[in-house]
Structure 1
Amino acid sequence: MGSITNDSHFINDTDYYEEQSSSLFDIHILVPVTIISIILFFLGVTGNVITILIFKQRREMRTTVNMYLSSMALSDILICLGLPSDLYRIWKYRPYIFGDFLCKFVFYLSETCTYCTILHITALSVERYFAICFPLKARTTITKCRVRGIILGLWVWSLLTASPILFLFGVEHRNGSLPDETRECKYIEHLARTGLLETMTWVSTIYFFLPILCLTLLYGLICRKLWSSRHNLRGPQAASREKYHKQTIKMLAVVVLAFVLCWLPFHIGRILFAQTEIILYDVTQYFNLISMILFYLGASINPILYNVMSQKYRQAVSKILNYGQVWHSRSLTRSEKTSLEGTEVSSFM
């Protein structure tokens, strides 16, 4: 997972299990965690891929809101792709067999996408604030072209601010030990002593808690605006627009709440582990395990929330699945027809 401090504390306790198995947990813990992780992986990848397909293929779904959500779905897919690496490392922490580049890249990609998801949620909430509180101004300023530019900027900024991770992490082995047996994907100790580890921990913490403060303020202002304007609605178009805004805000609020609940333990763990030198080994390991599962749940749950809360989304998913079934049945029909023609020709011959 995109865990700087959490993963590093898997390593800080290496002395404890130096003579033990290379697994971090007992088998009765590893098996259910593995099953849950596999389910989350497939839910996250397939659900977010379907989300992107819906927003790209369905013309009526190509709104500025859905542009943010589809980009966020891509970010969540990339986060989920880091799950197999984390799963491998809790089964067999060392030796790390995938090399220095993959070690760096997995951490960097996960951290980048973590920042990117947070920024997307914040930018989308700012857009909804302007659309609801300043509708006339928003109509001219919020365009698809500008939203594309903002989304590109969010990705570039996330890639840049996460770049120190490429220098902070790598494959190392303990001095005096055999490299082939003790290679670990971890933070590089001499760089961590310079303060880079603690700096990146605080960067990721600010990335989480500052947007949460911003989101709380924005949704408070939006709710006040919707509450104060409920008596001023005139005409069916105004009522319809107000209903659309309320439905959108309700869905986004649930997405934000799920995001906070799933990622909060992860960031609390980072702060505690960065500031506390003596921590109980068992407590830290199991807390890390729970926060890892919740972290990946956060990257997997959005398509489920869209499906539950949006009728348009459900209809679009149904159409895509039905199209897949029709295409499959047509291919089977063509294949059966070809097979039948082949049989007739061979019989004739």
Structure 2
Amino acid sequence: MDSFSLNTSFGNDTDYYEELSFSLFEIPVLIPVTIICIIMFFLGVAGNVTIILIFKRYKGMRTTVNMYLSSMALSDSLILLGLPSDLYRIWKYKPYVFGDFLCKFIFYLSETCTYSSILHITTLSVERYFAICFPLKAKATITKSRVKGIILLLWLCSLVTALPVLFLFGVEHRNGSLPEETSECKYIKEAARSGLLETMTWLSTLYFFLPVSCLVLLYGMICRKLWRTAHNLEGQHAPARERYHQQTIKMLAVVVLAFILCWLPLHVGRILFAQGSVGLYEISQYFEISQYFNLVSMLLFYLGASVNPILYNVMSQKYRKAVCTFLNQKQAWQSRASCRSDKASVEGMERSSFV
């Protein structure tokens, strides 16, 4: 589920909004947040689409690692599609004018892609562990066809486990009020009373903290292996192989760290809400504090979906070269198209003058 919608829906008594303006924040807060969101949206979508195009276009980039990363880029791009909806709801929380289907779909898409990104980064780390600690076995078992199958399985698992969200969220309005004035996209109270809300809260929490624990363990074992074998590699290509492993691990470790830091506040909020009597909103004692926590969680959540292309550029020299080649070819194509257009225009003028 998208960060802001989930936190406000999972923790707030929406009756409280009846006493507030339909906007959740003041204009001095809304304007800079809107600018930040617009920048993240366009940079994130452009960056993730570029990742997909580069990994698809250049054979040298079609490694099993990059297959996972390109699938993650697709997931991050879809997550960012929920940003305009969240931004709209910050400016105008109610009435929700986009209908019940879009309300459910945005929640479902965001939750699916959140699960997918977590599963991808965990599976990729497991693959790197086997590639470094058991290289001979990994070379025989980790093939591109198998990775494609694993990626499809990860997406299928994410799609299935997020299905309850379709029954948990929808458009409702307060009894005794006009739907066109007070309709909200939020969790359905009957579904919440049935226990589905709490179940999905804990499911999403497990989806985050179990993989994080696994990632910490895996990278600990990988670092220990690299440290022990740093001076024992043999063969002509041993130094290059060691450098490749170290560069890959550094890049993935930074990606994992960014993932944890950006998504941790969202899941902390979910845990505190799931505690019920010790929830975030009782701890804060002030509605404003909880809303600003939600806002920061939202910004970090979408930052996590848009920052990976920047990290790849910083950490991977091979990726930087591929991006430069891709952009240069694009500029050359645009230049040729412009020249053809200018030439056609000149020829047309000459024919016109001759006639």
Mark the runs of 5 or more structure 1 residues left unpaired by the alignment.
Answer: none
CA drift at 1:71? 0.1
> 1:133–1:225: 8 Å Cα contact kept in structure 2?
yes
Query: Could you tell me the percent identity over the aligned residues?
Result: 73
- CA distance 1:9–1:207, shift in 2 (3 Å): closer
Matches of 1:125 and 1:19 in 2, distance apart?
A: 48
CA RMSD of aligned residues (A): 1.2
Aligned to 1:89: 89
Matches of 1:265 and 1:193 in 2, distance apart?
A: 25
Q: Does 1:329 align with 2:329?
A: no
Matches of 1:333 and 1:283 in 2, distance apart?
A: 58
Segments of 4+ moved more than 4 angstroms: none
Matches of 1:98 and 1:7 in 2, distance apart?
A: 18
Matches of 1:59 and 1:109 in 2, distance apart?
A: 31
Matches of 1:236 and 1:44 in 2, distance apart?
A: 40
Deviations 1:247-289 (A, max 9, x none): 1001000000000000000100111122245342111100000
Deviations 1:17-69 (A, max 9, x none): 31332001111111000000000001110000000011000110000000000
Aligned to 2:9: 8
> 2:10–2:270: 8 Å Cα contact kept in structure 1?
no
- Residue-pair matches, total: 348
Q: Does 1:280 align with 2:300?
A: no
Matches within 5 A, 1:55-94: 55-94=55-94
> 1:307–1:313: 8 Å Cα contact kept in structure 2?
yes
Aligned to 2:323: 317
Aligned to 1:232: 232
> 2:8–2:291: 8 Å Cα contact kept in structure 1?
no
Matches of 2:177 and 2:313 in 1, distance apart?
A: 52
State the AA in 1 paired with 2:191.
L
Between stretches 101-110 and 222-231, larger displacement belongs to 222-231
- CA distance 1:5–1:74, shift in 2 (3 Å): closer
> 2:100–2:171: 8 Å Cα contact kept in structure 1?
yes
Matches within 5 A, 1:158-177: 158-177=158-177
CA drift at 1:236? 2.9
TM-score with structure 1 setting the length: 0.98
Aligned to 2:298: 292
Matches within 5 A, 1:334-345: 334-345=340-351
Aligned to 2:223: 223
Aligned to 1:206: 206
State the AA in 2 paired with 1:284.
S
SS of 1:202's partner is helix
SS of 2:104's partner is helix
Matches within 5 A, 1:116-265: 116-265=116-265
> 1:5–1:201: 8 Å Cα contact kept in structure 2?
no
Mark the runs of 5 or more structure 2 residues left unpaired by the alignment.
Answer: none
CA drift at 1:5? 4.6
State the AA in 1 paired with 2:188.
I
State the AA in 2 paired with 1:136.
L
Deviations 1:119-141 (A, max 9, x none): 00000000000000000100110
Between stretches 17-26 and 275-284, larger displacement belongs to 275-284
Matches of 1:345 and 1:29 in 2, distance apart?
A: 59
Matches of 2:242 and 2:8 in 1, distance apart?
A: 46
> 2:68–2:124: 8 Å Cα contact kept in structure 1?
yes
> 1:5–1:274: 8 Å Cα contact kept in structure 2?
no
SS of 2:186's partner is strand
SS of 1:284's partner is helix
Matches of 1:324 and 1:37 in 2, distance apart?
A: 27
State the AA in 2 paired with 1:175.
N
Q: Does 1:104 align with 2:104?
A: yes
> 1:5–1:273: 8 Å Cα contact kept in structure 2?
no
Deviations 1:139-174 (A, max 9, x none): 110000000000000000000000000000000000
